[in-house]
Amino acid sequence: MPLVGRAGRVLGPRGLMPNPKAGTVTADIGKAVRDIKAGKLEYRVDRQSNLHLVIGKRSFDEKRLAENYLAVVDEILRAKPAAAKGKYLKSVTISSTMGPGIRIDPARVRDVAEETAGAGQPA
């Protein structure tokens, strides 16, 4: 980490600075590269408990985006603490980087992706 610190002025503003919490600073480089290539999700939570993460890129087709969305939703719902009472997801909004947000009913979070994935299938 001390060696990487010198590059902080260049990497920091771009969001590329390695971080031990994110697993990008490790002694086992091979394992870190395999995990990232396998699709390791990196997300962050801000002070207002908003979850920020990437579910796809512009080059992805609808099916891949729906699969990624379902995987994210499953992971979030699986990570719900047992002690959490009431509604776990209060609101869900999906947006592109610089585009407007699209609200999704929290009660139908899984249904939206399943409908999208099913729309491409012939009847």
Give helix then strand counts, H and E, for the chain: 5, 4
> Which residues, given as ranges, of the chain have pLDDT below 70?
1-26, 36, 39-41, 112-114, 116-123
Among 12, 15, 11, 31, which Cα is nearest to 23's? 31
pTM of the shown model: 0.61
Cβ(19)–Cβ(5) below 8 Å: no
The pLDDT value given to residue 100: 93
For CA atoms 104, 109, 111, 114, the dihedral sign is positive
Give the span between the Cα atoms of 76 and 84, in whole angstroms: 13
The pLDDT value given to residue 14: 64
The pLDDT value given to residue 123: 45
Amino acid at 26: T
